[in-house]
Amino acid sequence: MAKNYKTNKQPGIIRSLDWWTIGIYLSLLIFGWLSVCGASYTYGDTDIFSLSSRSGMQIIWIGTSICLGFVLLMMDDRLYDTFAYVIYGLLVLLLFLTIFNPHSIKGSRSWIVLGPIRLQPAEFAKFATALAISKFMSSYGFTMSNWKHFAAACGIVVLPMLCIIGQSETGSALVYLSFFLMFYREGMPGSILFTGIAMIVYFVVGIKYESVMLWGTPTSSGKFFVLLLVQIFSTGMVWVYMRDNGKAFKMLMVILGTTLGFLLFSKFVIPFDIVWVQLIVSALLIAYLIFNSMTTRFPNYLYIALFSIGSIAFFYSADYVLNDVMQPHQRVRINVLLGLEEDLAGAGYNVHQSEIAIGSGGLQGKGFLNGTQTKLNFVPEQDTDFIFCTVGEEEGFLGSAAVLFLFLALVLRLMHVAERQPFKFGRVYGYCVAGIFLFHVFINVGMVLGLTPVIGIPLPFFSYGGSSLWGFTILLFIFLRIDAGRNLIRQ
């Protein structure tokens, strides 16, 4: 009688790869190369494939990136877990040494110059940090609820940030804030994420409307509304975290009633600065929260009080930093973004010209290599940080929407792949990758459209250059290799 033998044949790496992600990656590389061609092409050029042109050199970067991705896929996925701290340590050391780099390019010392080749270690530090944080958070006993563990995880992220800031490369350092999206997925309290969003709201509202007087009274609208928001947010936290609807409602009515009463008094009786009343109300609110914390022994009241104190301190310190600490060119950039200044010939020139280029593309665009704004070099950095304006001008709204759809598909696919990982290391790393891509696309496209500050970060797979293309490829293909090993039987 024939015997049936069971086999433990495992699927090969090629079959286990997520080909949807690779397909999106290749599509973005093609779109990116076409955009570099459009941004760097000048009338009269006869060979866009020449190595003397940027479009020709980008083919070299794309080819080497694909080869690099293939090499990463052939490696054992356990190596990334085993040597995560070693890779992180080497990259942080390189970042630190780059601070003392004698080569300064556009005011930044973030580049290592090796003959004709220039490399930016900050682009490679992203995957190293993602590996290290994944290794740390997947270690036995780690919990986000333990503040020591959370502080150590934040330290792994902050260390390369400080080194990059020391290189005068603030934009690249801000990318590391994307790791907090992964922290939120892994259990970071939503209050921390909300606090970060609230600070952005305080800054924008307070600075933008600081010089606008409220309803004919000698009161700064910016300061008034920021303090009112702090009070409303604090009251909302009492409702959300303490589940005391009655107390939260009474607090809100007292705050709004007092504010409205003194506003009417200032408008129709004696004009005065209501901000002082708002500060007194805020102080009483904080004292009331601390009192409730002491009498009920619920620490959440104390945390809400600390949120109120921190919010007020942040707003007034941000105002001081903007007006008294920042350099004039930095202050002008923020004022231009908030609409307080135009400066179309200075800090707002790049954004203004990119908006013209995108707007001139219309629905279907002017066609490949037919963009006038980019061909005549009206947009600075049009093949690097501002390359999305080339997409808008040559491919129009439809082409721009297609590119954004590809990036959205990539981020959503990465999140889907991250969720199917059998081990925490792979899931954490996957969300790090998704967060980094999301941050880059959101800030870069928003910057070109005048919606976010101009901080000089590349658009993944589109901006010209080898460092960013290699960095994003390594970041992505390490995750693809980790995912491909999810079904392997370990010996």
Question: In the chain, count of helices (H) and strands (E)?
Answer: 20, 2
DSSP states of 226-246 as a string? HHHHHHHHHHHHHHHHH--HH
Q: Which residues contact 372 (CB under 8 A, 6 or more apart)?
A: 360, 366, 393
CA separation for the pair 417, 408 (Å, rounded): 14
pTM metric for this prediction: 0.85
CA separation for the pair 347, 328 (Å, rounded): 11
Instruction: Count the Cβ atoms, other than its own, within 10 Å of residue 316.
Output: 14
Domain extent listing, the chain:
15-188+362-485, 210-326
Output the six-digit token pair for 240. Answer: 């959300």
Rg (C-alpha) for the chain, rounded Å, is 26
Output the six-digit token pair for 150. Answer: 């959370």
Per-residue pLDDT of the chain (491 residues; tens, 9 = 90+): 444 444 445 556 788 899 999 999 999 999 999 999 888 877 666 677 777 788 889 999 999 999 999 999 999 888 999 999 999 999 999 999 888 876 666 666 777 776 667 788 889 999 999 999 999 999 998 998 888 999 999 999 999 999 998 887 878 888 999 999 999 999 898 888 888 889 888 988 888 888 888 888 899 999 999 999 999 999 999 998 888 888 899 999 999 999 999 999 998 998 999 999 999 999 999 999 999 999 888 888 999 999 999 999 998 888 787 777 776 766 776 776 666 666 555 556 777 788 888 888 888 888 887 877 777 677 777 788 889 998 999 999 999 999 999 999 999 999 999 999 999 999 999 999 999 999 999 999 988 887 877 777 899 999 988 889 999 999 999 999 999 987 765 54
DSSP 459: P
Contacts of residues 55-63 at CB distance under 8 Å and 24 or more positions apart, as own/partner, are: 57/464, 58/32, 58/33, 58/464, 59/33, 60/466, 61/465, 61/466, 61/469, 61/470, 62/29, 62/32, 62/33, 62/469
Residue 490, Cβ density class (10 Å: 0-12 exposed, 13-18 middle, ≥19 buried): exposed
Handedness of CA 253, 258, 261, 266 (dihedral sign): negative
